[in-house]
Chains A and B, each alone.
Chain A
Amino acid sequence: MATQTHPAITEEMRARIGVESEPRVSDPVDKSLIRIWAISLAWPEAPDRLYWDEEYAKKTRYGGVIAPPYFNPFAYKIDEARMDGANRGIGDGLAERAAAGRPGGNGGGEAEYFDVPIRPGDVITSRSKLTDIYVREGRTGQTLFRVTETRWTNQKGELVRVYRGTGFELLGRA
């Protein structure tokens, strides 16, 4: 049974539901980062040429190299570097979790796409908001869930991706 009233859910946390974060803007997407992503996806097979071979990609309906759909253009953004290694690209609430000092992670997600792939040189703007927060009894005791919605648009204002992610924190036995 999920509940929104629990000591672990503070007034401050509840007040953030529905409030959009400051937009984050990526650096122009680098072709090499797309290639590295494509290799990690395909490994140990060779990556699809669509993700790295311009001559090949030109002849496809995309007319050039594109990034794989789940590519994260916010990795390695120096001015926001988090030296604890937690990634902030996907919007799954990891930053808040780290602050609370509890074990937790990424509980799942849902992505919606619009046939607008990310391409080299694109500048992606991310707007994120907390949409739900609740506690549920899980296999290892009580678990706090945070649902966030993150919308990415490109430099033309086209919607690229909407991601709804569920982050979790283990609260322990009641």
Chain B
Amino acid sequence: MHHKESVYFEDVAVGQEIPSFVRKTGVMEFNRFAAANEEFVPFHMEDEPAKPFGVDRAFGMGNLRFEYVHGMLTSWIGQDGWIKRVGTQYRGYNLKDQTLTCWGKVTKKYEEDGLHLVDLEIGVNNEKGENQGPGFATVVLPARHAH
């Protein structure tokens, strides 16, 4: 996973879809994130402790879903841009052995306080197409011609 070449403000259009970020939500992914974030919670590890939530198996961390959204944004904008705001609601449980697809669509581009800003609608769909992470983001991009 590498930062691609910079995306410039001028090259972005409202309505544009940004490259998606797809991840399996398996034991390997859960455990790696648990190790990074010290998030060893029983219902993320084993099926039985997840059952009081009305599901049949372990489910993933909301923080991991949010981390993937960050990964999508940084992969797209490259090193010269930065995330200003990002928010995601967690809807439903991201069960073990699903596939998550983070997506984003440009809704607005504008200048404010000398920054070139792009707003996006974002989401995290499971393999059934259900959006388990509706949200928004604002990123700052470099401009070819700073005003």
List chain A positions with a Cβ less than 8 A from chain B: 33, 36-37, 39-50, 60-62, 68-70, 72, 75-76, 85-87, 89-90, 103, 105-113, 115, 140, 164, 166, 170
Contacts and interface: CB of A to CB of B under 8 A. Distances in A.
B120 interface: no
A75 B66 contact: no
28 contacts: A40-B35, A40-B36, A42-B1, A43-B29, A46-B1, A46-B2, A60-B79, A68-B71, A70-B67, A72-B38, A75-B36, A85-B40, A85-B41, A87-B37, A87-B38, A89-B38, A90-B63, A103-B52, A103-B53, A105-B62, A106-B90, A108-B62, A108-B87, A109-B66, A109-B88, A111-B66, A111-B83, A164-B87
Contact count band on B: 35 or more
A46 B75 CA distance: 13
B126 interface: no
Contact of A108 (B32, B40, B88): B88
B1 A70 contact: no
Nearest to A140: B54
Contact of A69 (B38, B63, B83): B83
Nearest to A82: B38
